Structures are given as structure tokens and as C-alpha cells.
Chains A and B, each alone.
Chain A
């Protein structure tokens, strides 16, 4: 690990397979994400995008292949896994803020319980993060009192509070009303500019064009095509991608 070149993959997915019963959801997936790289994953519903994301922080187990974060293989279970998970921030489609905790507590919980940060420091850092995503004044409220866009920005702050090496986003804006999508995307674009390594499942092409280094197109559990965003959207190679793009572009 000490000899690791700076350009080595931060997230490395090698030959990963996964079934749900008969359904082969991930087929020999290989994906390397460099430090600071922003990868957008798109593809039709059911193609395995969420499963891939969830496998990367082991919310989902895999049957074969190997996933490592910053050179460290994902451990099986227990304390080690919990520690490694803290290096991987995750933002869900449905926000999943802890419903019984205030906004501030949502953000401080991880640092206090997992990293042993003292409460005062954790709160100070949490407030800074909440300010950064533009919801500082909501700190004492409960999640249900916030709009969807605000909740998702809090969820981003909660993930950032763990100082992760990589952030995973699984359709972070698809549960939002249209007028709230941009406030969340803006935060994500900003994060990308600051050099965060990101894997983002999204169909927001504006975001992909603005922030992504690479678009990965998945279909039927396979990575069918990958290219820089401009090239992918204007000149896709595979039939599957052409077909898919023609469908989402007509909307």
C-alpha cells in the first residue's frame, strides 16, 4: 500500500458477480475509479446500478470477485467492515435521515459513535457542513419538518461528516420535486469541483456534463459502454446505449 502510485484506483471492482435468486444482477463487473474522479452510472431500470453501489459499501454481499477501497479489500463483517464503511459515504434516493433525531444529531451521530469525536467538536464541524449545504438554520428541526431537497442536502452533510474517501449517490434527486433538484445537484457539483471522488447513479445529464469525468452505461447487470460524458451523449457506440438515450431524451 505504501508503494501505491497516486493514480492507482481508489475504488477497485474486479470481476464481481451477484445473483438475486435466479436473476444475475451483476455480471463480471470491472470498474476502477481514480482518486478525485467523478463517475456517473446510468442505465435502464433493473440494470443493477443500485446493487453495484450497495455492493461497494457492502450493504449487499457479492458472490465472486473483489472490491477494494484505497487498496484495502472489503472485510466480511463486524468492526473492520464498519470502519471501512465510514470511508465510503452513501446518499440514498429516499434520504433516510434518522427520523427521531434532529438535523444536527443526524450529522453528529457518526463522528461521535464511530470515530469517537467529542460532542462539541462534532457539533462545530456539523454546523460548518450544514452551512456549506445551505441548511444551517434548520439544525434543531426534525427531518420531517424539512423539504425533500433540504433533507437530501442534510444527508450529503451527514455522509461528509465522516470524512469519506469516496461518496456514492444512488439516484439522489429522483425522489425530489423538480424545483428542488437543482439545489441538490449544485451541492454535488461543488463537491466534485473540490476534488471528491464520486460515483453517482443519476439520469441528470446536466450534472453528468458539468461534473462527470466518465459515464458508465449499465444494462442487464453488465457495463456495456463507458466514455467521457460529451462523447457518450452525442455519440454512443452500443445499440443498447443508443436505444436508452433515445428513450430518456424524448422526455
Chain B
């Protein structure tokens, strides 16, 4: 307990950054992932090809490399400078988006084709068919895998510690300097991650109830 209470400042700052990384990256990953996922099921071959390329390249690259690129490669491109936290957010968003896209695509495939055909038959365009008819039904079946992706994102935020972002994954190194026992610190960090994941699980249950589709 003392390890926690004597260093509460370190824990709160660390976890605050983690939560910010998670929320902001999660938001952009869902947004971008939906766009990429839509490309993968679109009737336009060029969009489909781009979506496939994106998913295959990004999903098969280790997260560390993606973050490495944004932390050290990106500044050399002569584009506007961004700090380490921002580049971690960009990296996490792009990386997670590829998973979100795949989850959505598989979810879209669970919706009977007749639903999309009926939508097209009354004159809805592709985007409308997707957003009004297919995705709302797909969301129900993608909730469990989508939350797995979000939980993975939450844990992946700790990789950012390696790139000078001071989040929960960096707490141990920081407190080691204050002479705290590493194992106790790590247990506390793990404990708080479990709490965060439980909150996510609660949220998942809530949405599953809300988006129940009767067939």
C-alpha cells in the first residue's frame, strides 16, 4: 500500500497519459478503421485494393516499428513537428485501425446479403446502405471482437513508454529510481489495468444490450 500512496503522483500522471492515449487513439482508430473497412467491402475495385493493402501492410508490421517510424522517421520528413505523445497517438491509431477494419469487415459478412440488396433496391447509395442498414446490424456481432481490439489497444499504449511517453508502462522505471520494489510497483500497475479492462467489459455489456437485433 505504501508503495502506492507514497507515489500517488507518479501513478496518477502515468495512468492519466495512458487513458488519454487510449481514448484519443481509440477514437481515431474507430473512425479510420470504419473508413478502411468500408473500402474493403466497397464495389469500387481501386478502393478495395487500397483497403486490402493498408490492412496487410499495417497489420503485419510490429507496433514497435510503427511507433519507431513516427518517433524517429517522421521528423526527418520535414513535415510539421509533433511531440512524442502525438506521434504515439498517430502510430497507435493507424495500427489499431487495421484491426478495427478487419473486425468490421467480418461483421459486415455476418449480415445477410438480402439486407444490402433490399437497401439498394429502394435506391440507397453504397454509403447509405452501409451506414444505415448494414453497419448498425454488424455492430452487434462485432462488439466482442471490437472490444478485444480496444483492450489490446489499451495494453499496447504501454509500448509508447519506450518512446519517451510517460504513461503507465513507464511507472516502474520511474519508481525504480525512487528505490521502490519493482515487483510491487508492477503488481499495482497490473491491478489498475485490470480495473480499466473491467470498465471496458462493462461498457461492452451495455452496448450489447442496447444493440440487440431480433431475427
Contacts and interface: CB of A to CB of B under 8 A. Distances in A.
Interface in B73-129: 112, 114-115, 117-125, 128
A144 interface: yes
A92 B118 contact: yes
Interface of B: 43, 112, 114-115, 117-125, 128, 132-133, 136-137, 211, 213-215
A77 B118 contact: no
A128 interface: no
B132 to A, nearest CB: 7
Contact of B118 (A86, A97, A113, A142): A97
Of the listed residues B119, B120, B121, B137, the one surrounded by the most CB atoms of chain A closer than 10 A to its CB is: B121
A100 B211 CA distance: 9
Given A82-B125, A144-B215, A92 B132 contact: no
Contact of A162 (B114, B120, B123): B123
A182 B122 CA distance: 25
Interface of A: 57, 59, 77-79, 82-83, 85-86, 88-90, 92, 94, 96-100, 109-110, 113-114, 142-145, 155, 158-159, 162
17 contacts: A59-B121, A78-B125, A79-B125, A82-B123, A85-B120, A85-B123, A88-B121, A92-B114, A94-B114, A96-B114, A96-B117, A98-B118, A109-B132, A113-B124, A114-B122, A142-B214, A159-B121
A105 to B, nearest CB: 10
Contacts of B137: 99-100
Given A94-B114, A99-B115, A113-B128, A77 B121 contact: no
A88 B211 CA distance: 32
Given A99-B115, A110-B122, A158-B122, 19 more contacts: A83-B123, A85-B122, A90-B121, A92-B114, A92-B117, A92-B118, A92-B121, A96-B112, A98-B115, A98-B119, A99-B137, A99-B213, A99-B215, A100-B211, A109-B122, A110-B124, A142-B214, A158-B118, A162-B123
A100 B121 CA distance: 18
A85 B119 CA distance: 10
A199 to B, nearest CB: 14
A109 B120 CA distance: 12
B122 to A, nearest CB: 4
A105 B54 CA distance: 36
A98 B119 CA distance: 8
A88 B118 CA distance: 12
A78 B132 CA distance: 17
A110 B117 contact: no
Across the A-B interface, the 3 shortest Cβ-Cβ residue pairs: A86-B123, A110-B122, A96-B118
Contacts of B136: 100
Given A77-B43, A113-B128, A96 B122 contact: no
Nearest to A106: B118
Nearest to B133: A98
B143 to A, nearest CB: 14
A99 B133 CA distance: 9
A57 B122 CA distance: 10
Contacts of A94: 114
A59 B120 CA distance: 8
Contacts of B43: 77
A96 B123 contact: no
Contacts of A162: 122-123
A88 B120 CA distance: 11
Contacts of A100: 136-137, 211, 213
A117 to B, nearest CB: 12
A211 to B, nearest CB: 22
B39 to A, nearest CB: 16
Nearest to B113: A96
Contacts of A114: 122-124
A195 to B, nearest CB: 22
Nearest to A84: B123
Contacts of A57: 121
